[in-house]
Structure 1
């Protein structure tokens, strides 16, 4: 699946037939990386909340539809526009352990009755801390953070569409990185990482590869399937930061105890340092059959070092 082709500019005559359309809910960085090749394969619509967002997306071959996940009535106008949906929008950053945005979208899609396939990008945080164990998709969900609990609620919400005959697939993504999504500013600030005895296993997926997996899920995933969308890197978090620092000739971050880290880092950053797991990605490889363009951190760093935007 090549991603180097130029997108085709959409015209009004292109937008007929819900079966040939993909609706993107949450057209952020991951989805935008897919647009150059996606717009050549299917008619793309995106939910937007502002004229500025629409002006940014239209040149990429996207038809924009104004709606807001926080305003349920606005969703009625978009729910019947496409038979396939990418749901990449995150839950609210605060509030209860539920995701009202996903529930509003699901209710609108269910009422319209047009969607046939939906892919939702969740997070590996739904597993909670696994003590560094290898984690398959069948592992019970035990999120410790409110952020993880809201994602569990979102997964439950989208699964209810199966009762309407919708083939739902869920990608549980870990940390999303890429040649232009590396922790260089954090390294330049000298933020600490955990010492070896306190350190945790971390997992990543390249942003462009995540988009490719979401596309494959719409076509190849059996309804109701969940996938750990992770690459083949097997590193602890501090070792990952060391690898990035070495690649860019930056000082390695200082290693501190967990107690010292609690005095220097934000609660959000600390929450990621409190969970350790190694995602089992064998189901993803076997069923989605996508060869990752950047299958590990070495490939991501090589691409970054060859990019003028990260080396200038």
Structure 2
């Protein structure tokens, strides 16, 4: 029986965990994890855990010489304007394997890589429609860190011949990961005539796109992994409130928001864009299970 190809996952959070059943049928899966209890959980799922921490380069020696397929979804640290975690991951992978290495991850021909980025790299577009032809114009430090990660990965892919697909994801939601806490706190939203446009994707649809990008993604290609129906941010919170049987948030002016909302929330409200997903559908051939947020909420009832 032919051995399965190897896959390394850096960042096995909620989204990538949803893809594991599909991935385990096709790959021998290795996952970076920081703690022994995480390793035990992953091992029980059929995954080979690798105890390593991207904030501790000395723990990454087992990745030397890696030529396995890669899924990278580790977020940057919360400070600075560059992504040091991606830099350390790529540095570890690019180091030659030591002679007589007993590592279970063997060198292989160049294999695909997928990076889960964010649509925040586009910056503010004043509500205009965008596709992937628009270059990155990040407005915030968090988005500049993501844009830096993308650039690092592109340079690495060009040097190594790796086919790289970058998936830009917007607000990710699913049952159990909705902004109900904010609604329960009574935080207001912007009145509709001044509100920003936002985009969403269900976690299952993003996980499906990650899987297909490994096989169908074009080299050095970027994909907007968004659903078919951008919405005003306040309308999104109204949908969540209605589905959760909570009172809808109060509406305030943008000027009032400057006094009542946190800088982090204001940063998101300052970005307004509507994103097209033609590449997602035509090249990756993704069929969205939840093409709109309203279709998801309707399914709950």
Q: Following TM superposition, by how much is the alpha carbon of 1:20 offset from its aligned partner in structure 2, in angstroms?
A: 0.7
**d(CA) in 1 for partners of 2:261, 2:128:** 25
Are 2:190 and 2:252, in contact at CA under 8 Å, matched by a contact in 1? Answer: yes
Which residue does the alignment assign to 1:222?
218
Q: Following TM superposition, by how much is the alpha carbon of 1:159 offset from its aligned partner in structure 2, in angstroms?
A: 0.6
Aligned length: 289
Which residue does the alignment assign to 1:104?
88
| SS of corresponding position for 1:24 | strand
Equivalent position to 1:92, from 77, 98, 105: 77
Equivalent position to 1:187, from 183, 190, 204: 183
Which residue does the alignment assign to 1:69?
54
Are 1:23 and 1:82, in contact at CA under 8 Å, matched by a contact in 2? Answer: no
Deviations 1:104-139 (A, max 9, x none): 112222334745211001100101000101111111
Which residue does the alignment assign to 1:42?
27
**d(CA) in 2 for partners of 1:140, 1:43:** 35
Which residue does the alignment assign to 1:27?
12
Equivalent position to 2:263, from 261, 267, 287: 267
Which runs of 5 or more structure 1 residues have no equivalent in the other structure? 1-13, 307-312
Are 1:67 and 1:78, in contact at CA under 8 Å, matched by a contact in 2? Answer: no
Which residue does the alignment assign to 2:101?
none
Which residue does the alignment assign to 2:117?
122
Are 2:66 and 2:94, in contact at CA under 8 Å, matched by a contact in 1? Answer: no
Residues 1-312 of structure 1 aligned to structure 2 (within 5 Å): 20-81=5-66, 83-95=68-80, 97-112=81-96, 114=108, 115-160=110-155, 161-303=157-299, 305=300
**d(CA) in 2 for partners of 1:250, 1:107:** 48
Deviations 1:24-76 (A, max 9, x none): 10111111111233222222110011112112222211110011111223223
Deviating more after overlay: 254-263 vs 60-69: 254-263
Q: Following TM superposition, by how much is the alpha carbon of 1:193 offset from its aligned partner in structure 2, in angstroms?
A: 0.4
Deviating more after overlay: 243-252 vs 146-155: 243-252
Which residue does the alignment assign to 1:8?
none
Are 2:205 and 2:289, in contact at CA under 8 Å, matched by a contact in 1? Answer: yes
**d(CA) in 1 for partners of 2:201, 2:272:** 16
Are 1:20 and 1:42, in contact at CA under 8 Å, matched by a contact in 2? Answer: yes
TM-score (structure 1 length as normaliser): 0.88
Q: Following TM superposition, by how much is the alpha carbon of 1:82 offset from its aligned partner in structure 2, in angstroms?
A: 5.3
**d(CA) in 2 for partners of 1:93, 1:123:** 15
